[in-house]
Homo-oligomer: A and B are copies of this chain.
Amino acid sequence: MNARAEIDKEGRISFSITELAEEFGVTSRTIRFYEDKGLVNPAREGTTRIYSRKDRGRLKIILRGRRLGFSLQDIKKMLDMYSPESGGTDQLTFTLQKCEEQLEKLITQRADINEAIAELEDGISQLKGHLASGGADGCKKTIA
């Protein structure tokens, strides 16, 4: 049994690469790839990667970004935005602007989703109608 695994059973404070991979449903290759691209930067114990809670948080954000269809490059920018480690006033201002741009994007995307959802719901209720009214046709609505 591993020392680290012993110490922090619950409320973990550090994680191995495979732990995170399993938790998030990706391969370790993927996580290392993200590191290659500068999206995470775990500590090292010798050569082995040690992921902090913060690293884990970044991973979570990365994967959500991916689900939303953003490129890793965009996601990197987003992450950099979140942590303006060097807080010069103009850096902050810059970050703020980037954040607001990103926010716009997401809002647009939400609108897209809502449209898609509405159409799907519409289609579903029509399908149900067709099934209820029995027959092979009904109103022949396709796509507009």
Contacts and interface: CB of A to CB of B under 8 A. Distances in A.
Interface of A: 53-54, 57-58, 61, 64-70, 81-85, 87-89, 92-93, 95-96, 99-100, 102-103, 106-110, 112-117, 119-121, 123-124, 127-128, 130-131, 136-137, 142-144
Contact of A131 (B67, B89, B143): B89
B54 A87 contact: no
A92 B134 CA distance: 11
Contacts of A108: 67
Contacts of A113: 68, 106, 109-110, 113
B117 A81 contact: no
**Nearest 3 CB-CB pairs, A to B?**
A69-B69, A57-B144, A96-B127
B142 A54 contact: yes
Contacts of A87: 130, 136-137
